């Protein structure tokens, strides 16, 4: 709102008539500008009725200069003017506050014709989507999903799984031990795989067991595009009477076909893990190419997991008779599978929570 203050330099009116003329002019000018608000009316009040410099006050101060016989008329004139100013400004003030109230009300009003603001919709993280897809396949094969602690004891993470205390196989995983967390079997550490969940499951019940163990695991790896000290695993375990290597092979093959598509084949190659015997590395035929591509390093095969027949010592450690029962186990990296499926070039993208990366629909 523009100021209602009169132009600077105007001389103070010396007569009531002059003052009334000025009042008319100023109020007409203010009305012409329109839309007076309470602050503007307040300025007018100060200018006209202010105790020190107000026009009316200044005029009244002239009373002593007015000849004696005119004093009464002058005084009455100033008083009448004062009442008139007060009355007119009261009217303006009432209008101004009504206007201010209407403006405040309008500011609060909701325009129901505006298009709605759509809040950003969250999406499932690609790791969640891949984990659920893997779980879906194995649930169809009769597996249940089990959970376990991320802080484990040496016993569950290593020793019960046939890693003897000084066995060099322990060096294959650099481990975060927890300071002051005990020693020997009781030493506390961040689990390096989800195999301890399998151990805990076997302890708690008798075969038949078919269990899937997803979860976060930790290894003392430096961060680079393919490594992270935190990543995710999906392990599985089957224990029952009469379980053979053929069951393992058939299961992995069924998983590969269901997860990667009907053309996928699996290839098993011998390797060593302390908790299985024999142990294998499992690769699936590359589903991204016919003749070799960067994803399969032009070999036609992509390694996706370790597996094997559960070592008799592991069964015995869980109180399961290895003469009566056999089993198989497998384990894969969820992160790695997500990267393969979606062509994600850098593992770190999965952990940095950059919405530019996450804000798409992962399948
Ligand atoms: N626990 C193994 C790992 O962390 C994976 C695995 C599980 C291998 C089961 C064989 C059998 O690498």
Domain-embedded: residue 2: no
Q: Is any atom of ligand 1 closer than 6 Å to the C-beta of 207?
A: no
- pLDDT over threshold 50, residue 9: no
What is the distance in A from the centroid of ligand 1 to the CA of 213? 11
Q: Does 80 share its domain with 136?
A: no
Q: Is any atom of ligand 1 closer than 6 Å to the C-beta of 320?
A: no
What is the distance in A from the centroid of ligand 1 to the CA of 331? 4
pLDDT bucket at 10, cuts 50 / 70 / 90:
low
What is the distance in A from the centroid of ligand 1 to the CA of 272? 10
Which among 31, 76, 91, 26 is positioned nearest to 54, based on CA atoms?
Answer: 26
Residue 136's CB is within 10 A of a number of other CB atoms, namely 11
Distance of CA 14 to the CA centre of its chain: 73
Supply the pLDDT for residue 8: 42
Q: Does 149 share its domain with 66?
A: no
pLDDT, one tens digit per residue, over 286-338 is: 988 888 888 888 999 999 999 999 999 999 999 999 999 999 999 999 999 99
Q: Does 169 share its domain with 301?
A: yes
Alpha helix locations (H) across 68-193?
Answer: 68-108, 126-140, 154-157
What contacts 190, CB < 8 A, 6 or more positions away?
A: 150, 151, 152, 175, 176, 178, 217, 218
255 neighbors 337 (Cβ within 8 angstroms) = no
The alpha-carbon radius of gyration of the chain (Å, integer) is 43
Q: DSSP secondary structure string, 328-342?
A: EEEEEEHHHHHHHHH
Q: Is any atom of ligand 1 closer than 6 Å to the C-beta of 287?
A: no
What contacts 46, CB < 8 A, 6 or more positions away?
A: 54
pLDDT, one tens digit per residue, over 80-90 is: 989 999 999 99
Domain-embedded: residue 10: no
Supply the pLDDT for residue 1: 45
What is the distance in A from the centroid of ligand 1 to the CA of 290? 29
What is the distance in A from the centroid of ligand 1 to the CA of 329? 8
Residue of minimum CA distance from atom 2 in ligand 1:
331
Q: Does 322 share its domain with 350?
A: yes
Q: Is 99 helix (H, G, I), strand (E, B) or coil?
A: helix
Domains held by the chain: number: 2
145 neighbors 248 (Cβ within 8 angstroms) = no
pLDDT bucket at 122, cuts 50 / 70 / 90:
confident
Q: Does 324 share its domain with 205?
A: yes
**Local structure of residue 323 (DSSP, 8 states):** T
CATH of the domain at 180: 3.30.930.10
Supply the pLDDT for residue 34: 79
Which among 283, 287, 275 is positioned nearest to 317, based on CA atoms?
Answer: 275
What is the distance in A from the centroid of ligand 1 to the CA of 110? 60
Q: Does 155 share its domain with 218?
A: yes
Residue of minimum CA distance from atom 5 in ligand 1:
331
Q: Does 57 share its domain with 142?
A: no
Atom number in ligand 1 closest to CA 235: 7
Domain-embedded: residue 138: yes
Q: Is any atom of ligand 1 closer than 6 Å to the C-beta of 331?
A: yes
């Amino acid at each position: 709102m523009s100021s209602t203050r009169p132009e600077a330099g105007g001389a103070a009116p010396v007569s009531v008539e002059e003052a009334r003329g000025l009042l008319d002019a100023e109020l007409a000018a203010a009305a012409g500008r329109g839309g007076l608000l309470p602050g503007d009316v307040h300025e007018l009040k100060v200018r006209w009725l202010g105790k020190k410099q107000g026009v009316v006050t200044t005029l009244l101060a002239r009373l002593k200069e007015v000849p004696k016989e005119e004093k009464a008329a002058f005084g009455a004139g100033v008083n009448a003017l004062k009442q008139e100013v007060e009355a007119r400004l009261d009217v303006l003030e009432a209008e101004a506050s009504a206007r201010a109230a209407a403006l405040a009300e309008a500011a609060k009003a909701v325009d129901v014709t505006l298009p709605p603001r759509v809040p950003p919709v969250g999406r499932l993280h690609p790791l969640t989507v891949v984990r659920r897809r893997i779980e879906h396949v194995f649930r169809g094969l009769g597996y249940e999903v089990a959970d376990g602690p991320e802080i484990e004891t040496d016993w569950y993470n290593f020793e019960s799984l046939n890693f003897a205390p000084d066995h060099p196989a322990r060096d294959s995983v650099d481990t975060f031990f927890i300071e002051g967390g005990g020693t020997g079997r009781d030493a506390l550490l961040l689990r390096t795989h989800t195999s301890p969940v399998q151990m805990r499951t076997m302890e708690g019940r008798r075969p038949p067991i078919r269990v899937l163990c997803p979860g976060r695991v930790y290894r003392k790896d430096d961060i680079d595009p393919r490594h992270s000290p935190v990543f995710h695993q999906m392990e599985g375990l089957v224990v029952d009477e009469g379980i053979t290597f053929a069951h393992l092979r058939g299961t992995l093959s069924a998983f590969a076909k269901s997860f990667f598509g009907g053309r996928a084949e699996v290839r098993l190659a011998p390797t060593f893990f302390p908790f299985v015997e024999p142990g294998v590395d499992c690769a699936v035929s590359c589903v991204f190419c016919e003749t070799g591509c960067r994803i399969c390093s032009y070999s036609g095969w992509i390694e996706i997991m370790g597996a094997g027949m559960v070592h008799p010592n592991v069964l015995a450690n869980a109180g399961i008779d290895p003469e009566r029962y056999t089993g198989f186990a497998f384990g894969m990296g969820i992160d790695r599978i997500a990267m393969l499926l979606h062509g994600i070039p850098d593992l770190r993208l999965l952990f940095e929570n950059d919405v530019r990366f996450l804000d798409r629909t992962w399948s």
